Chains A and B, each alone.
Chain A
Amino acid sequence: MDKSSAAIARTPLGTERFGFATAGTGRWAFAILAIVIAAALPFALSKYHVFELTLVMIYAIAVLGLNILTGYNGQISLGHGGFFAAGAYTAAILMHRYGVPYWATLPAAGFVGFVLGVLFGLPALRFEGPYLALVTLAMALATPQLLKYFDTWTGGQQGINLVKPVPPAGLGLNQDRWLYLIALVALLLAIRVAANMLNGRTGRAWVAIRDHPIAAAAMGIDTARYKTLAFGTSTLFTAVAGALSAIAIGYVSPESYSLFLSISFLVGAAVGGISTIGGAIVGGFFIQFVPNFANDISDAAPWAIYGLAMLVCMYTMPHGVVGSIKPWLARLAQWTGAHRKRKDGGNSP
C-alpha cells in the first residue's frame, strides 16, 4: 500500500503550488492575463463553441474535486459521476418542483454533495487503493438504476426538462455568454478555494496522509477526520459542477450519469495531472473534446480510439500533462528569475 499511495504523485510538498511559474509577481500577472483572456473569449466565438467551453469549465470543476481526493489524498474514486448526478438532480428538482432560482441551487447542491461525500467517506476509511476503486465503481454502476427507481422525484427515464436561465437585462449578453461567465466565475472561485485549502494546514495534512498514513498519524494528524473531510470537499466541488451542468444543459436524465461519466472524470484527472490544479483544466478539455476527435477518426469504434488515447497518455506521461511539464516550468521560472537578478546587478532581495 505504501508503494501505491506514495506513487500516486511524487511531487515534493514545497513545489505543490499553482502549476504555473512560481515567481510571485510574474504568477499574478500571468493569472490576471489568463482571466482577462478567458472573460473576453466568449465575445469572439460562435454560440456553439461558447457552450462547449462552458462545459469544459464545468468538467474542470468536477475534475478539480476529484484531484483533491485522488491526487492530494490518495483515495481513488471511480464513482464521482454519482456525486455529479446528485448535484445535477438537486438543482433540477429544486428548480422544477419548488421554483427555486437557478443561482440558489448551487449552494444547495454543494451542501448535498458534501453530506453525501462525508457519509460515503466514513465507510471508505476502511478501504484503500483498489478496494476503494471497486466500491466507487459499484456506486457508479448503481447510480442510473437508483435515479430510475425513485421516479416520483427524478422523473424516471424521461428525466427533467429545465428552463435555461435568462441573462439580466441591460448587460446585453446572450444566454450562452451569460452561462459561460457564470461557469468561469465558479471555476475561478473553485480554484481559489482549492488552492487556499491545499496550500494550508488542511492540504499539508492530506498530502501527509497520502504519502505515509502511519507517519501522519504519528505526527498527530487525525487521519479519519481529514480523509472524511477530503471526501466531503471533493464531492462538494463535483456536486456543484453537476448542478452547473444541469443548469447549462437544461436537462437531466439517468442515462447521462452512467459509469462512463465517472470514468471520464478519473481519466481527465489522470491525463491532466493528478495533484495539480492546472491539470483539472487540461482534464476538462480532454473530457469535452477527445470523444469528438475520436468520433471524427473512427465512426465505428470511437471508444476504442478514446481508450487508445488514454493508454498513450499514461505510457508517455504517467504523471499527467501538467505533472510532466511542471518540472520544466519550474526550471524556466528559475532561469528567468536568475536572468532578472543578473540584470539588476544581483542586488534584488
Chain B
Amino acid sequence: MHEFLQQVFSGLAAGSVYASVALALVMIYRSTDLVNFAQGEMAMFSTYIAWTLVNAGLPFWGAFALTLAVSFAGGMLIERVIIRPVENAPVLAAVIVTIGLLLIVNSVAGWIYTYTVQDFPSPFPDRPLLHALITTRDLGVIAVTLIMLVLLFLFFRYTSTGLAMRAAAQNPTSARLCGIRVGHMLAIGWGLAAAIGATAGIMVAPVLFLDPNMMSGVLLYAFAGALLGGITSPVGAVVGGLIVGVTENLVGTYLIASQLKLTVALALIILVLVFKPNGLFGTAIVRRV
C-alpha cells in the first residue's frame, strides 16, 4: 500500500507536467483549431534558455522568470511569422507547418547546444516527506503547476484581455465586430502557450535530464491527457494530464516493462478515443448538414 501511494504521488508530479503541456495544446487548439506538434520542442528550447541563464550565474527563479518572458515573446513571434500564412490554408498544410517547426527547433537546439545530455538544476531539495510518501521535489513541481493554473484562471476570468481572448476563440467574427483585435489575441494565446510549455520543460528537466529530444515522450502523454480531458476543455486538460501521469506510473511499476512506455500512451489514446471520443469534460461537436 505504501509503495502504491508513493507511485501515485510521483505519478501526480509527472502528471502535472503533462497537464501543463496539455493545457498549452488546448489553448492553441481552442483559439486556432490547430494541433501544435511543435509544442514539446518549443518547451525544450525554452528549457535550454533557462539552462544558459542559470549557467551564466543568474539565481534560479530569476532565470525562470526571464525564460518565461522570452518564451512568451518567442511564442508570439512564431504565431505572427510562421503560423499566420497558413491560417486559412488546408488543415494538412497547417499540420505540415507545425511539423516543420518541430524539425527546425529540434535541429537548431542540437546545433547550438549539441545532443549531449545535460544536468539541469532543481530549485527544490530532494528530501522525503510524510514517511517517504512524497519527495519535496515532487511536491514543488505540483505546487508550481497549481500556482500557474490559478494565475491562468484569474487571468481569463478577471482581466479584460482574458475576456477578449475568450471571445476571440469562441467567435472570431463577432469578437472582431466588437473591436477586439483577434490577430493580437491569437498571438497572445501562442505566447501564453509557449510560457506554459517553458514552465513544464523547466520542471521536468531535472528528472529527465536536458537534451534536444527530451520532450517527445512528454508531448505524447500530454496529447493523451488533452484527449482524455476533452481537447476543448482547459480543466479537462489538467485533470486528464494528472490521470495520465498516475496511470503511466502505475502501469510502468506493476504491469509492463518501461521499454514500452510510448506504447502504453498509444493504447491509452486509442482507448479514450474509442470509448469516450469527446473526453471527460469536452463538449460533443454537433454538425449541421
Q: Interface digits, A267-280 against B, CB 8 Å rule (1 contact, 0 not)? A: 10010001000000
Pairwise interchain contact B274-A126, C-beta atoms closer than 8 A: yes
* A148 vs B277: C-alpha distance when bound (angstroms): 31
For A7, A138, A141, A308, the residue with the greatest tally of chain B CB atoms inside 10 Å of its CB is A138
Pairwise interchain contact B265-A127, C-beta atoms closer than 8 A: no
Taking the closest CB of chain B, its distance from the CB of A270, in whole angstroms, is: 5
Query: Which of A2, A270, A315 meets B85, CB within 8 Å?
Result: A315
Taking the closest CB of chain A, its distance from the CB of B27, in whole angstroms, is: 15
Contacts of A129 in B (CB 8 A): 91
* A1 vs B96: C-alpha distance when bound (angstroms): 18
Which of chain A's residues has its CB closest to B85's CB?
A315
Point out residues on B near A: beta carbons under 8 Å: 29, 34-35, 37, 82, 85-86, 89-93, 95-97, 99-104, 106-108, 110-111, 216-217, 220, 223-224, 227, 231, 257, 259-263, 265-266, 269-270, 273-274, 277, 285, 287, 289
* A70 vs B93: C-alpha distance when bound (angstroms): 12
Which of chain A's residues has its CB closest to B35's CB?
A130
Whether A153 is near chain B, meaning CB under 8 Å from some CB there, is no
Contacts of B99 in A (CB 8 A): 78, 263, 266-267, 307, 310
Whether A149 is near chain B, meaning CB under 8 Å from some CB there, is yes
* A214 vs B223: C-alpha distance when bound (angstroms): 28
Query: Which of B110, B231, B277, B285 meets A126, CB within 8 Å?
Result: B277
Pairwise interchain contact B97-A311, C-beta atoms closer than 8 A: yes
Given A266-B92, A310-B97, output 10 extra A-B contacts at Cβ < 8 Å.
Answer: A127-B273, A130-B35, A131-B231, A141-B216, A149-B260, A214-B289, A267-B100, A303-B106, A310-B100, A318-B86
* A4 vs B111: C-alpha distance when bound (angstroms): 36
Contacts of B101 in A (CB 8 A): 307, 311
Contacts of B107 in A (CB 8 A): 301-304, 306-307
Contacts of A138 in B (CB 8 A): 220, 223-224, 262, 265-266, 269-270
Question: Which residues 123-148 of A have a CB within 8 angstroms of B?
Answer: 123, 126-127, 129-131, 133-135, 137-139, 141-142, 145-146, 148
Taking the closest CB of chain B, its distance from the CB of A9, in whole angstroms, is: 7
* A149 vs B261: C-alpha distance when bound (angstroms): 11
Taking the closest CB of chain A, its distance from the CB of B39, in whole angstroms, is: 12
Taking the closest CB of chain B, its distance from the CB of A112, in whole angstroms, is: 19
Pairwise interchain contact A76-B259, C-beta atoms closer than 8 A: no
| In the complex with contacts A127-B277, A301-B111, A307-B104, A270-B93 CB distance below 8 A | yes
Pairwise interchain contact B262-A274, C-beta atoms closer than 8 A: no
* A115 vs B108: C-alpha distance when bound (angstroms): 40
Pairwise interchain contact A145-B100, C-beta atoms closer than 8 A: no
| In the complex with contacts A129-B91, A266-B99, A311-B97, A304-B111 CB distance below 8 A | yes
- In the assembled complex, 20 residue pairs joining A and B whose CB atoms fall closer than 8 Å, in A order, are A76-B92, A126-B274, A127-B273, A130-B91, A131-B227, A134-B227, A138-B265, A138-B270, A139-B266, A142-B266, A145-B261, A149-B259, A218-B289, A263-B99, A266-B92, A266-B99, A274-B92, A302-B107, A304-B103, A306-B103
Chain A facing B: main interface SS: helix
Pairwise interchain contact B89-A215, C-beta atoms closer than 8 A: no
* A318 vs B29: C-alpha distance when bound (angstroms): 21
Pairwise interchain contact B269-A307, C-beta atoms closer than 8 A: no
| In the complex with contacts A134-B35, A137-B223, A141-B220, A307-B273 CB distance below 8 A | no
| In the complex with contacts A127-B273, A131-B227, A134-B269, A304-B104 CB distance below 8 A | yes
Which of chain B's residues has its CB closest to A310's CB?
B100
| In the complex with contacts A137-B220, A138-B266, A304-B111, A70-B104 CB distance below 8 A | no
Whether A314 is near chain B, meaning CB under 8 Å from some CB there, is yes
Pairwise interchain contact A133-B95, C-beta atoms closer than 8 A: yes
Question: Which residues 3-45 of A have a CB within 8 angstroms of B?
Answer: 4, 7-9
| In the complex with contacts A9-B90, A141-B262, A315-B86, A215-B103 CB distance below 8 A | no
| In the complex with contacts A270-B93, A315-B85, A307-B262 CB distance below 8 A | no
* A274 vs B92: C-alpha distance when bound (angstroms): 9
Pairwise interchain contact B92-A2, C-beta atoms closer than 8 A: no
Question: Which residues 155-201 of A have a CB within 8 angstroms of B?
Answer: none
Query: Which of A134, A141, A318 meets B93, CB within 8 Å?
Result: A318
The 6 closest A-B pairs by CB, nearest first: A307-B103, A303-B107, A310-B100, A307-B104, A301-B111, A304-B107
